[in-house]
Amino acid sequence: MNDKQEAALMFIQRVDIATIASELGVSEPTVYQWLHEQGTINDARSHRNALVAAAYAEGWTIRRICMALKVSQGTVYGILHTAEVQLRRRRRPYSNEESETIVKMYVAGKKLSMIVNETDRSLTYIYRILDRYGVPRRRSR
């Protein structure tokens, strides 16, 4: 297997460009050129774009898609816009039960990042709930 093929294989396995370049002893632009010549970048992007559109159509949240595919929110919105996907504008309604669960998790010592991931709510929303219930914030370490 030559370096170009190895670069393509590593890229398909989600190894980042900088790592590929370092391991093969070439520059990042060289890796990009190889991948473009072989059509690997376009194929990988097409596949990723199809995954984003399918996940959104199945009801996944933007945040969940970002975490699963390791892409930014801007990338996901751009893909959906290009694919002319109608965005959902409704938000999940807030419930007292969910608010109480968030408070219990926080008081029990669970990290904010874990609460955000488990509830699929923003950090701002979590802070609002804690403030609404009068929960004192933990000091950062």
Provide the whole-model pTM: 0.45
Q: Which pLDDT does position 4 carry in this prediction?
A: 84
- 36 Cβ partners below 8 Å, 6+ apart? 42
Query: How far is Cα 17 from Cα 31, in angstroms, rounded to an integer?
Result: 7
| Torsion sign over Cα 108, 113, 117, 121 | positive
Task: Compute mean pLDDT per 10 residues along the chain, 141 residues long, and list them.
Answer: 86 82 87 80 74 83 85 91 83 82 94 89 90 88 60
Query: How far is Cα 88 from Cα 77, in angstroms, rounded to an integer?
Result: 12
